[in-house]
Structure 1
């Protein structure tokens, strides 16, 4: 049996050769065998193969003796919410996020929506799939569970409704599932939503919903400009990531959103700890300190950030990849809470999104993440470290290599899954220096790569 759909954090593969109903049924059985779960939340995204795979998964869970609570068509964060809110033993979301439309996958969590990844059970589930199964003495039950209303109430709890004012917001669901939530939130908010690619459609008539690809941004940007909107938001297919556009239709790097959200959240609750990744840091550190919070650095990746948030009891965590995590959301990532907080900030401050962001870009210009294919990543990173550690103020290995000088810093890290090295550079108020150092490092990487 082909088990190549099992990845480091989740399952993803092409349907039907890498993931199909036969395998999905076995995965359900293996999940119960490994976790011992008795009550499991199941939900699925808008992909055409999702209902059939979910049905097979549910059959496997019930055959192994677990009760299935089916929350239906939803986003990944609703599985996280339902699992923790209803105190279930676990949850499984059938989704392939922003992968091509002929792919599908699963994201799994345990009690309290703690992530199940390769270092805490996912590999065991993969290995168990290959072993024979006997049916449980008592089959699990199946019931549907309506979670949308409790989830909407929870989302609205993050903002002060009395401070919200009418404004136009472009929302681009990319024909994923986010539109269903916007339609529910709309009834409680004074905003005028301009809806782009709004209908949930697993054929993805406008391309795969992945707003991080530059070619997928123009639909949102153009709608913002044409409608004079205050901001634009776009989501990936299972809407656990959201991306922002200012009132000029400019795409905003996720790094600056982390700082903005940390600042807004700390102002609201009066301090606390904020988790951030090591790729770009200075802007976040500056804003967190100014808002009376404490910044804590964590290795990149949702499993690491969620665990560190629990360890530190952090109120918020953010990655520049557009994942935003909240303590009151079971330490999980949400693609809905961030834009609500940004909208609230615009209403309260009377400022435009560009004016809030411009000052930060000016203070800490950054390269954005630049990927290069390198034949021997460890060798190249070691050589860069040897060269740039001379005269450096600080060197860190929390995630890859971070080297800091008085006026600029950089992070260089390997991909977990491909021979790619990712570079991020930032400077203190000196865009020309940031650009020069970025070019210098890229040239050095190319030279070392031969």
Structure 2
């Protein structure tokens, strides 16, 4: 039995050849099929050069376990999520490594109605069976047919906006040569058909697994220039950029400024509460004050959850929340089976910009001024627990309010911090925010203070 190291807390991710290859992919498909015994599942893959072969190996494993497969072809993760709740199927697998380096790949797995499969809900069982290879023979193998989900997906997306209310806008769309381009093209065609006055300026739109413009991951500062420059060059109203499997979307305002995902959570919460007061909104504990402020203003109910898609989705289901947002640019929607989407957020953003007659910068500038934040800062440390204890002890005499929903949050009244170990990488993640009305200290002071403490 070979121990598989590609199984993580929420998904499968590993280095090609050693941690993930076609044989391992076959075993994962076979194990998924044997454990859940679905009749049919949807399978798709991103643009990485290894993804198609890994997908075919996964499909063969599923077929050999007696499972029928609808092969969705080149897709983003959310198209698999959509297929898994929209079609008469019992699960889905997307082959993707999202924003990991070139020599990685992975998988995201869901059950019926796109319920996530994570370490707590079945991923460990799949791992154990894939490792042992203790597969049972089936009476009949499954079949595979190709299925084009795009028309139904586009129809679903259009349900989030009222075409009559969209004002003339010019948008820069940066697919980063990932999987988003075909959806951008299809939405552009739909906008033209419905006479929606939105012009799309597409950059890096063609899918290309060699990633000639770098791995699509706009959370990295060095990856934002092309979107910003295009917004300024075309005098666009907004810029939108995605990661490789487009389940995260990043917004730039009309000045080309990157908007932290934290403030987009507030903006999207506002979009839902403008339609329906009293709805519940789920947020993660890393940065919270702006979200709580918006929910108070627009009569929403805040529910806090541990970060990570499996936790957020569970808490949303339990509370029937209309929307859930993480500052990492993952946005989750009740009408999308509580799954995350990178397409719905920008559609809601153009709806808010249209309905309020405001620019994106003016919609978020008050939030940014009231609740400045550091953005997420990552540190490579020897031992995350020791470092968290060190921070905890350093501030103990200031008697902050303590919350341990996820890592440690310390609230000092005028400012707060959250520090947590990454679920996916050997990193310590730090977030800091402050209340501008109570706090004369610049954010950089806190960043410097904590950097010295963590690295010292």
Q: TM-score range by the shorter chain?
A: over 0.9
Matched, 1:445 2:454: yes
Match in the other structure for 1:246: 253
User: Partners of 1:328 and 1:424 in 2: how far apart?
Assistant: 30
Q: Is the 8 A contact 1:32 1:61 kept in 2?
A: yes
Matched, 1:50 2:51: yes
Query: Which shifted more, 357-366 or 372-381?
Result: 372-381
User: Partners of 1:216 and 1:412 in 2: how far apart?
Assistant: 25
Structure 1 residue 79, shift from structure 2 partner: 0.5
Aligned residue runs from structure 1 range 24-173, under 5 A: 24-129=25-130, 130-173=132-175
Q: Which runs of 5+ in 2 are unaligned?
A: 192-196
Query: Which shifted more, 379-388 or 222-231?
Result: 379-388
Query: Which shifted more, 73-82 or 119-128?
Result: 119-128
Deviating 4+ runs (over 6 angstroms)? none
User: Partners of 2:212 and 2:3 in 1: how far apart?
Assistant: 30
Q: Is the 8 A contact 1:47 1:202 kept in 2?
A: yes
User: Size of the alignment, in residue pairs?
Assistant: 447
Matched, 1:434 2:443: yes
Q: Is the 8 A contact 1:87 1:111 kept in 2?
A: no
1:317 is paired with a residue of what secondary structure? strand
Structure 1 residue 2, shift from structure 2 partner: 6.0
Aligned residue runs from structure 1 range 291-310, under 5 A: 291-310=298-317
Structure 1 residue 446, shift from structure 2 partner: 3.2
Task: Report the CA distance shift for 1:431/1:66 in structure 2 as closer, same or farther (over 3 A).
Answer: farther
User: Partners of 2:56 and 2:448 in 1: how far apart?
Assistant: 51
Q: Is the 8 A contact 1:389 1:403 kept in 2?
A: no
1:19 is paired with a residue of what secondary structure? coil
User: Partners of 2:53 and 2:172 in 1: how far apart?
Assistant: 33
TM-score, normalised on structure 1?
0.96
User: Partners of 2:303 and 2:400 in 1: how far apart?
Assistant: 19
Query: Which shifted more, 402-411 or 223-232?
Result: 402-411
User: Partners of 1:53 and 1:332 in 2: how far apart?
Assistant: 24
2:397 is paired with a residue of what secondary structure? coil
Structure 1 residue 94, shift from structure 2 partner: 0.9
User: Partners of 1:344 and 1:8 in 2: how far apart?
Assistant: 35
RMSD of aligned Cα (Å):
1.6
TM-score, normalised on structure 2?
0.94
Aligned residue runs from structure 1 range 155-234, under 5 A: 155-189=157-191, 190-234=197-241
Q: Which runs of 5+ in 1 are unaligned?
A: none
Task: Report the CA distance shift for 1:340/1:431 in structure 2 as closer, same or farther (over 3 A).
Answer: farther
Match in the other structure for 1:411: 418
Q: Is the 8 A contact 1:273 1:312 kept in 2?
A: yes
Q: Is the 8 A contact 2:34 2:135 kept in 1?
A: no
User: Partners of 2:387 and 2:118 in 1: how far apart?
Assistant: 29
User: Partners of 1:328 and 1:87 in 2: how far apart?
Assistant: 17
1:79 is paired with a residue of what secondary structure? helix
